[in-house]
Chains A and B, each alone.
Chain A
């Protein structure tokens, strides 16, 4: 057993290590300056730079306005440094020139926050650059309903779903729009359309499912899209989409809840089951199945629309007059609603009849028995979505405002100029409801019925 052990002397080893370190330090740090006391001052930053072989981080240029402190050291401005590093200027609010005894300028954090918020909003509002798909690998056709020549939120969801399918594989979205002669009021490019096919002929307006299906089939033949998406609405998108699917011999997926390139989810069994399957060619998409495109702009380049011919077998005789009093609240198109500010109930019923509107009411009014319970609007009543809602003497409790959250146009008449309903309204009249109701009834009778 040959045992060869080297005996180590720890003290000597330490000495050697220290000497080596001093040598290295002297070699690496030529800039080290001598302090008045005679000791050599180390510059750790230079040492680190020499070790890593990387130049020391550039110290942000100090603005000349930065005052030198009493000790003569230059003060760093960490905010300016951060801004120069990130390349983004921090919005600094105009400072109110308040002289403080110490001479320092005082910042107002509230003003700063407002300025920051304004800068964020301005960035968001700045028109997004137009995104283009020059050479798409495939096409996705979306056919919005465009009722009243507007994109409904369901339409936007469908175009958003098409956008998702197209973006997943480098495709492009073609929106087929039956615009009618007056054109579309909303931008299709903002909704997410790369291309656009327009059928502006008056024969496609109104109820023309056979013509529309023929046009969609012609577009499918011309463009050969991978998928065709419709909103699954009762008598517009759902009808045309099923006609197209039957003509193509495709087993369309309806009531589609989730859309992905390889798998979709559709609802069945009376809303109690979800089926997952590979997507067929025609998809009838439910509302809120996908998020709409926001804050982005696409090209919406117009493609030549193919010519189509179809003979309608069902005659459209236009809209029939309906009695607004019999229409269920959730379906009503125009609602005149009463709150605690209304005392003259005969005048209220007369003004609703004169305007041809359905009647609604707030919870206190229905509690008091002035209107039947099924006329109550709000969180505990009906969530209504008419095109216009006239609130007579309703202050606007949060629960009531929830009930009208989807209403596009709100007219408020209230004695209190500071109530929430006046803030919510698109047109608000501050004044006495009792005096205004007969005046509104009179003018409605004069100008609607001519007496």
Chain B
């Protein structure tokens, strides 16, 4: 039984050169979709069908892509939701957030609300067991959480998911793009925003309240010494036991009872 997997893809920007490319998280979502056994992967994009970067997704192995043609900065949520409602895929995948516009990360939530299906954020792997999907969710510090949900569902894929495969030039050339004209409302709220180049701020080193410059210098340069415990002249076995007891007490490693 083939399962319909729709992947919503967007046009990204290279962080250094600023050139159009496949968006990093969306490419990982395509990779995840292609790794699902027996999946019938459909790519959907809302925007300009003439964008060359879209062919990078076709080069990953999907044969066709549907492009909902609309103005560049229009709101894609309604056309996407309408298209997905008529298509009824079992799984909808997309990157957690885009990298070329508002990057709000709200589209998956709005789509899931429109389709009335559960949303699972930040998954790094997905496998099917009958009508259920078993997923691993990527957490900080390299941890993974195991989740299960029944189909249909919407899931987002973060940049910590497995790296996407390279795009093959021949496949990219041969892939077909189906264009569908839709009416999308212009984003009026955004007209009131002012846009400027991002201002990078230095990383915060230490938060402190100091009365004088001397206090500030001291707080930054002084090493917090003397609070730790120092064990000296212990035989290796006892020292190792002290270290292991410390790791267990702090919850770093679990000892068997």
* Chain A residues packing against B (C-beta within 8 Å): 120, 124, 207, 209, 233-235, 238-239, 242-243, 245-246, 251-255, 257, 267-278, 288, 291-292, 294-295, 313-320, 322, 324, 327-328, 331-334, 355-356, 358, 386-388, 390, 409-411, 413, 417, 420, 422-432, 435-436, 438-440, 442-444, 447-450
Contact check, B229 vs A427: say whether CB atoms are below 8 A apart: yes
Instruction: Give the shortest distance, in Å, between B152 (CB) and chain A (any CB).
Output: 11
Are A291 and B207 neighbours in the complex by a CB distance under 8 Å? yes
CB pair A207 B239 closer than 8 Å: no
Interchain CB contact under 8 A, A207 and B13:
no
B234 and A431 contacting across the interface, CB-CB below 8 Å: yes
Those 8 A-B pairs whose CB atoms lie nearest each other, nearest first:
A327-B142, A270-B99, A439-B240, A313-B118, A317-B146, A440-B240, A331-B142, A423-B225
On whether the beta carbons of B198 and A271 are closer than 8 Å, the reply is yes
- Known A270-B103, A431-B234; contact A424-B252, beta-carbon cutoff 8 A: no
Name the contact of A449 in the complex, choosing from B113, B194, B256 (C-beta under 8 A).
B256
Q: Is the CB of A272 within 8 A of B252?
A: no
Cβ-defined contact, B236 with A235, below 8 A: no
A387-B141, A424-B225, A427-B228 given; A235·B12 CB < 8 A? no
Q: Are A272 and B13 in contact (CB under 8 A)?
A: yes
Note all chain A residues with C-beta closer than 8 A to B119.
Answer: 243
Closest to A333 in B: B141
Q: Which residues of B contact A439 (CB under 8 A)?
A: 236-237, 239-240
Q: Does B149 contact A (CB under 8 A)?
A: yes
Closest Cβ neighbor of B114 among chain A residues? A246
Name which residue of chain B comes closest to A426, CB basis: B228
**Which chain B residues lie closer than 8 Å to A316 at the CB level?**
145-147
- Do B195 and A273 touch (CB < 8 A)? yes
Q: Contacts of A420 on B, CB cut-off 8 Å?
A: 223
Given contact pairs A254-B106, A420-B223, A440-B243, a sample of 6 additional A-B residue pairs in the complex whose CB atoms are under 8 Å apart: A273-B195, A288-B203, A319-B145, A319-B146, A322-B144, A447-B255
The reply to whether A254 and B105 form a contact with Cβ atoms under 8 Å apart is yes
Across the two chains, which residue of chain B brings its CB closest to A433? B236
- A444 vs B245: C-alpha distance when bound (angstroms): 10
The CA-CA distance from A443 to B246 in the complex, in Å, is: 13
Contacts of A410 in B (CB 8 A): 228
Q: Could you tell me the distance between the alpha carbons of A257 and B204 in the complex, rounded to whole angstroms?
A: 13
User: Complex formed: what's the CA distance from A447 to B249 in Å?
Assistant: 13
Whether the Cβ atoms of B232 and A274 lie closer than 8 Å is: no
Instruction: Quote the shortest CB–CB distance from A23 to chain B (angstroms).
Output: 53
What are the residues of chain A within 8 A of B87 when measuring CB–CB? none
Contacts of A317 in B (CB 8 A): 145-148
Tell which of A120, A292, A334 touches B211, judged by Cβ atoms closer than 8 Å.
A120
In the complex, A390→B253 CA distance in Å? 13
Q: Are A234 and B106 in contact (CB under 8 A)?
A: no
Residues of B near A423 (CB, < 8 A) are 223, 225-226, 228
Q: Please tell me if B82 contacts chain A, counting CB pairs below 8 Å.
A: no
Q: How far, in whole Å, are A20 and B137 apart by their CA atoms in the complex?
A: 97
Decide yes or no: A292 and B207 within 8 Å by CB, A275-B195, A417-B230 being known contacts. Answer: yes
The answer to whether B147 touches A315 (Cβ under 8 A) is: yes
Q: Are B244 and A444 in contact (CB under 8 A)?
A: yes
Known A319-B145, A324-B142, A450-B256: A242·B106 in contact at CB below 8 Å: yes
B243 touches A427 (CB 8 A): yes
Given A254-B106, A288-B203, verify A388-B148 contact (CB < 8 Å).
no
Contact of A428 among B141, B146, B231 (CB under 8 A): B231
Which among B15, B232, B254 has the highest number of chain A CB atoms within 10 Å? B232
Q: Is B37 an interface residue (CB 8 A)?
A: no
Cα of A428 to Cα of B110 in the assembled complex, Å: 52
- Evaluate contact between A429 and B243: CB separation under 8 angstroms: yes
Cross-chain contact of B106 among A207, A251, A294, A334 (Cβ < 8 A): A251
Q: A431-B239, A439-B236, A448-B253 are in contact. Are A332 and B141 (CB under 8 A)?
A: yes
Give every chain A residue within 8 A of B139 (Cβ-Cβ). 234-235, 319
Contact of B143 among A251, A274, A322, A390 (CB under 8 A): A322
Looking across the interface, which residue of chain B has its beta carbon closest to that of A383?
A: B203
Residues of B near A276 (CB, < 8 A) are: 193-196
B193 pairs with A269, CB closer than 8 A: no
A444: chain B residues at CB < 8 Å are: 244, 253
Interface membership of B59, Cβ < 8 A = no
User: Within 8 Å CB of B30, what residues of A?
Assistant: none
Chain A proximity of B121: nearest CB distance (Å): 5
Question: Given the known A-B contacts A274-B197, A314-B148, are A447 and B141 also in contact in the complex, defined by CB atoms under 8 Å?
Answer: no
Q: What 1/0 flags go to B26-38 for Cβ under 8 Å of A?
A: 0000000000000
CA of A190 to CA of B99, assembled, Å: 37
Measured CB to CB, the closest approach of chain A to B151, in angstroms, equals: 11
> Across the interface, do B236 and A254 meet the contact criterion of CB distance under 8 Å?
no
Contact yes or no, B149 A315, CB < 8 A: yes
Q: A322-B144, A387-B141, A448-B256 are in contact. Are A427 and B197 (CB under 8 A)?
A: no
Complex alpha-carbon distance, A315 and B138, angstroms: 15
Q: How far is the CA of A235 from the CA of B124 in the complex (A)?
A: 12
Q: Which of B172-223 contact A (CB under 8 A)?
A: 189, 192-199, 201, 203-204, 207-209, 211, 215, 223
A–B pairs, 8, beta carbons within 8 Å: A234-B121, A234-B140, A245-B106, A271-B15, A272-B197, A388-B250, A390-B243, A423-B228
Q: B50 interface residue, CB < 8 Å from A?
A: no
| Distance A242 CA – B109 CA, assembled complex (angstroms) | 7
A277 to B97, CA, bound (A): 20
- Confirm or deny: B166 has a beta carbon within 8 angstroms of a beta carbon on chain A: no
Which residues of chain A come closer than 8 Å to B5, judged between CB atoms?
none
Residues in chain A near residue B168, CB distance under 8 A: none
Contacts of A387 in B (CB 8 A): 141, 250, 252
Chain A residues with Cβ under 8 A from B247's Cβ? Answer: 355, 388, 411
Given A314-B118, A332-B141, A424-B225, check contact A243 B96 (CB 8 Å).
no
